Structure 1
Amino acid sequence: MRKVAFIGTGGTIASIGKGPLDTVDYGANGVMLQADGILDRFPEVQQVAEVIAVPYRNVPSPQIGWPEWKELVLLCDKVVAETPGLAGIVIGHGTASLEETAYFLSLTLKVPVPVVVVGSQRPASALSTDAGLNLVNAVRVAASEEARGLGALVLLNDEIQAAREVTKTSTGRMQTFRSPDVGVLGHADGDRLAWYRRPLRRLAPETEFDIRRRESLPRVDIAYSHAGADGTAIRAFLAAGAEGIVAAGFAPGFVTPGDAAALAEARARGVTVVQSTRAGSGRVFPSTKLAAMGFIPGDNLNPQKARILLALALTVTRDPAEIARIFAMY
């Protein structure tokens, strides 16, 4: 059997509620299993691979950010170096920020094995929990040769998704993770993994971003534009030291006059501005207006992922043309 490492970071997939019908307020119980405890609760996972628990720590996913991302990159390095014959890695994660962690890993990992990020919508203790089958399927994907070279992947609800494209679309439904515009890479069906496409954008480990010796990332904030927005939030971000701002604008990529004025102030200070959209789907197109304002189109990245890519881009260049290249390539 192939060997797969499992790193648990907490989240719903690790949570134990007060009973089998506790599917909403289980966090109040305050019980989360470590990686080895999750594997013990779902022993069926050992039927599809030899799964090794890797100690980490449980972190509510809204609290996960740069420190944990760097730790996970380094931990993946360590696990691959110390585990002969390792076929892949699975990372258990809360679904709130799962897509952001997966995308960061998809841009920064340097390991040659597949990395699959998995979560669940119902706690491990719930009646009809999806935690066990999601974990089994994530291990199957991580152990597969077909998953190599696809960057970090996301597995929930039998669906194999690319980290760049997937996003959480529902608070509680099982089919919450969707890839707008492009769809799934494949399915983890009962008989086999059924693959249908490969992502074309540049992916880990073949990327230009290396965060291993960095102590921090450049500060990048997201300004959500809405009717009547007057730029106050943007000016607050500038005062806090933002080096980049992602404008989550109206579709297909506009902001209010007040926000536009504040973003012009940001550009005058040398702050990089990327124009994204709050629509959740579709590209921000290059236009004469954006070029005149000095804004970089965010393509079809949602604001939270555009923020990650911009922060990483700022670690290698401050040239707007180069950052535009990075957004077109990744």
Structure 2
Amino acid sequence: MNIVILATGGTIAGVSGSAVDTTSYQSGIVPIDQMLQGVGPLEGIAAITSEQIAQVDSSDMNHDLWLLLARKVNGLLRQADVDGVVITHGTDTLEETAYFLNLVVKSEKPVVLVGAMRPATALSSDGPLNLYNAVVLAASPEARGKGVLVALNNAINSSRDVTKTNTVLQDTFKAPELGYLGYLIDNQPSFYRAPTRRHTAASGFDVADVGEFPQVDILYGHVDDNGNLARAAVRDGAKGLVYAGVGNGNMSEKMEKVLQELQTQGVVIVRSTRVSNGIVTRNGAINDDANRFVAADTLSPQKARILLMLALLETCDPLKIQKMFWEY
């Protein structure tokens, strides 16, 4: 079994001035070859090769790095002698990178993203065991065909559903409503459910020749929202807007008129929600048919942005994009 680890930095490669300092540290310092020295008995799991793709705090993750990763992963997984890929990543935007790859990787071979909530220099750092478990998962036949996975704190999550739920605790990555896919205990992954939405090998998205993505911005709904930020985003070049509305993607009459106006200018509007759980239903809080808006289903605003960004490479038709939101 041959596993390739691609390192991008993050807390898992972080360094602090004290072993008991778990929040004030510098991300992306420890190189992957040094990190692997502290992981232990990986030799019994798989043959490991590694490459340092970047060394960034994940707040600095960007589209260029996404495209680099997507092309690198797709190239590796086309090789007969590569059985899976693990990507080390900072936790702040890990869920976004994971979902992006879930939509653009063209293989059923396992791809696992992993990070840590404590820097490498901390007492009881969670990075080494998380990385070990990620390799175990990527080397597991059971992980094949389940899309891009996220493995932290002995839990297996789907990249579509997972989110960071706590700023500092180690059990932060969860799918609060739909739940874990399974667990990693004593070198053994156990799956209890599987993703049903289109992903990886079944996805229709291809970024092999993409140079840049259409600009898509997220707006956060609140009391007395006057729509100025939405207009400003479009003036700045936004081709799509994700509105993280209240409740079931709801918005004020004033905001609805602003978004109606922008939609008639060709901007695609997706209604998501600032609420942490639940479906944004079509024609629920707002008449999407009349407004030609798109309902985000269960995707968080940040993941709705990724799907809309990829959808806009193919079409600006809100009805076709809505179909993608039901499928992915």
The match for 1:308 is 306
What is the CA deviation profile of residues 128-151 of structure 1, one whole-angstrom value per residue up to 9, with x for unaligned ones?
Answer: 111011001100111111111111
The match for 2:167 is 171
C-alpha contact 1:76 1:111 (8 A) present in aligned 2: no
Q: Secondary structure at the match of 2:202?
A: coil
Verify: 1:5 aligned to 2:4, yes or no: yes
The match for 1:48 is 45
Query: Structure 2: which amino acid aligns with 1:43?
Result: G
The match for 1:227 is 223
Q: Secondary structure at the match of 1:86?
A: coil
Q: CA deviation at 1:31?
A: 6.3
What is the CA deviation profile of residues 63-103 of structure 1, one whole-angstrom value per residue up to 9, with x for unaligned ones?
Answer: 11210110001111333345x42211000000000000000
Verify: 1:58 aligned to 2:55, yes or no: yes
Query: Structure 2: which amino acid aligns with 1:123?
Result: P
Out of 85, 89, 94, which is 1:98 matched to? 94
1:246-257 matches, cutoff 5 A: 246-257=242-253
Taking structure 1 as the reference length, what is the TM-score of the superposition? 0.95
Query: Structure 2: which amino acid aligns with 1:72?
Result: L
- Aligned-residue CA RMSD (Å): 1.4
Out of 205, 209, 214, which is 2:210 matched to? 214
C-alpha contact 2:9 2:28 (8 A) present in aligned 1: no
Q: CA deviation at 1:294?
A: 1.5
Q: Which moved more, 1:219-228 or 1:249-258?
A: 249-258
1:115-126 matches, cutoff 5 A: 115-126=111-122
Query: Structure 1: which amino acid aligns with 2:317?
Result: D
C-alpha distance in 1 between matches for 2:41 and 2:245? 46
The match for 2:141 is 145
The match for 1:157 is 153
The match for 2:126 is 130
Gaps of 5+ in 1: none
Taking structure 2 as the reference length, what is the TM-score of the superposition? 0.96
Q: CA deviation at 1:47?
A: 3.5
C-alpha distance in 2 between matches for 1:75 and 1:158? 27
Q: Which moved more, 1:12-21 or 1:283-292?
A: 283-292
Q: CA deviation at 1:124?
A: 1.2
The match for 1:263 is 259
Sequence identity percentage: 40
Gaps of 5+ in 2: none
Q: Which moved more, 1:92-101 or 1:253-262?
A: 253-262
Cα gap change, 1:179 to 1:308, in 2 (>3 Å): same
Runs of 4+ off more than 4 Å: none
C-alpha contact 1:39 1:53 (8 A) present in aligned 2: no
C-alpha distance in 2 between matches for 1:70 and 1:22? 34
Q: Secondary structure at the match of 1:245?
A: strand
Out of 292, 310, 318, which is 1:294 matched to? 292
Cα gap change, 1:6 to 1:271, in 2 (>3 Å): same
- How many pairs align? 326
What is the CA deviation profile of residues 136-169 of structure 1, one whole-angstrom value per residue up to 9, with x for unaligned ones?
Answer: 1100111111111111100111000000000001
The match for 1:190 is 186
Q: Secondary structure at the match of 2:56?
A: coil
C-alpha distance in 1 between matches for 2:173 and 2:45? 24
What is the CA deviation profile of residues 176-199 of structure 1, one whole-angstrom value per residue up to 9, with x for unaligned ones?
Answer: 111022101010011521110111
